[in-house]
Amino acid sequence: MPGSFEKPEIRDKTALARQVYTLLKKRYGPARCPLHYKKPHELAIAVILSAQCTDEQVNRVTPALFERFPEAIDYARAPLAVLERLIHSTGFFRNKARSIAGFARILVERYGGVLPQTIAELTAMPGIGRKTANVILGEIYGKAEGIVVDTHVKRISKLLGFTRSANPLQIERDLMESVPQTYWVDWSLYLIFLGRDRCRARQRICDDCVLNQICPSSTAQVRSKT
């Protein structure tokens, strides 16, 4: 098409990752966890609740939940029926209530209420998968043992060419090979922000996306500056 600009092919995925990170950081500013919490165990509970539920809905539910049960031990002792009622609107509330109670019980009995600092220890706790463990380590401890892979990260990573896999574990491995470790904690948050803002599953707004000049899947007609 006359006047169009062909996006350069970036064979070095680490170089691409650096460009992506720089552009998204400039666009969205400091990366902040969208889930609201005041205590470390509250973040873990919020992430458990976020499965198959929007962050916005979780943030509507957690204030009353956290006020009713301020400490981890309170969840371990809480009647499941009460937990279920308070978290009902997040979906899958029976499973989530059992996971929260089991998580809190182990947190108190085995770790004295202090969240462990390794993926292996965290993922051995009820309701805590690898994604949740990565969120906890990055947000609470600033540690990067891996990269959070949610639906936005999964989809956008494929669009950007960092992976061809649909398996979250393989996607995480592929990203860890390309993305500098210093970016791991914030990387997923930036892709999530992009996924909600412009690179949506049902409607990608490529013409107004900050990555449209470097994304190999962009449909934008970016005009040449020459």
Q: Which residues are catalytic?
A: 131, 150
- Distance between CA atoms of residues 6 and 221, nearest Å: 9
End-to-end CA distance of the chain: 15
b/e string for 94-131 if b means 16 or more Cβ within 10 A?
A: eebbebbbbbbbbbbeeeebebbeebeebeebebbebb
Cα 81 from Cα 10, distance rounded (Å) = 54
**171 in Cβ contact with 165 (< 8 Å):** yes
Answer yes or no: are the C-beta atoms of 101 and 72 closer than 8 Å: no
Coil, helix or strand at residue 225: coil
Residue 212, both tokens:
């449209």
Q: Find out whether 163 and 169 touch, Cβ atoms under 8 Å.
A: no
Task: Say how many residues make up the chain.
Answer: 226
1 token code pair: 């098409």
